[in-house]
Amino acid sequence: MKNSVQLITYVDRLSGGGFPELRALLDGRLQGLFGGVHALPFFNPIDGADAGFDPTDHTIVDPRLGNWDDVRGLAASVEIMADLIVNHVSAQSSWFQDFITKGPESEFADMFMTFGKVFPRGASEQDLLNIYRPRPGLPFSKATLADGRQRMLWTTFTPQQIDIDVHSAHGALYLETILDRFAEANVTAIRLDAAGYAIKKAGTSCFMIDETYAFLAKLAEKARDRGMEVLVEIHSYYRDQIEIARKVDRVYDFALPPLILHSLFTGDATALARWLEISPHNAITVLDTHDGIGVI
């Protein structure tokens, strides 16, 4: 990744079109302004339940934006970062729908994280209280199979985003298939979205635990073997962010935007200066994101 200004955008919101139109804009009026583009989820579909972060198929470009040849075309003009949505897949995906239809007999049954996989003997009140979730309530949703049986599934974000068992055969294959498709399209960097929630273990917070770091290290190695840099997106308290940065390749500097605003509004840069003294050196400078400016 070049040490220069990076553009983060949904493909159609800046250009008014798809990948060809975005490339024309960056080769035209905006030529030379950006060292790279983080193209926010452009997978099928871009207008799901969570603005593209719930793809039905992570390996297909939404045809309204183009195809993988168009992604490769943009990569000829500017470096591209793409999201690898690690934690979940859409409830409308063919894999999950096959599971709903066939239940345990589905060849994809192992792909999804169930309550029982983590708590085979049940969970205590404290087990449930330990779980960290970025939403109110518990990270579970009830699913009714075609034959009437019910299963309790992990849904860290919404009931429309079904958590993947990343250690299962189909879960691991799913992630590697995405990496292969990115590499073929000359994507040079990936952002691991929601990666902090990927590993679930009874008795823990199920967020950035030791096993999560081990998983991320292996996934990052697979990405680097395909010629891609890895950025881990973790929204956390600044002290946690410093610790996380020591264990991964790159993180975002999410503390910077509110500190800059604080300095501008108060006329006092003391807090900003202090942060610059202790902030991770492998952090990517952030002034704004598609999620807005978070304050923890």
Is 16 strand, coil or helix?
coil
Q: CA 63 to CA 67: how far, in whole Å? A: 6
Query: Catalytic pick from 98, 193, 277, 288?
Result: 193
Contact, 111 vs 224, CB < 8 A?
A: no
Our separate counts of H helices and E strands in the chain read: 11, 13
One-letter identity of residue 222: K
- Here the tokens at position 180 are 């292969």
Q: CA 76 to CA 128: how far, in whole Å? A: 48
Q: Kindly give, in sequence order, each residue whose CB lies less than 8 Å from that of residue 31, ignoring residues fewer than 6 positions away.
A: none
Contact, 202 vs 119, CB < 8 A?
A: yes
Residue 233 is a catalytic residue: yes
Strand order in the sheet with 36-39: 6-9, 36-39, 79-85, 189-193, 229-232, 251-253, 283-285
Residue 193 is a catalytic residue: yes
Query: Catalytic pick from 62, 163, 165, 233?
Result: 233
What's phi and psi for 180, nearest 5 deg? -60, -45
Q: 40-51 burial, b for 16+ CB within 10 Å, e for fewer?
A: bbbbbbbebbbe
Continuous segment of H or E residues that includes residue 163: strand 161-163
Q: Kindly give, in sequence order, each residue whose CB lies less than 8 Å from that of residue 144, ignoring residues fewer than 6 positions away.
A: 100, 150
Q: Count of CB atoms within 10 A of residue 294's CB?
A: 12
Catalytic residues: 193, 233
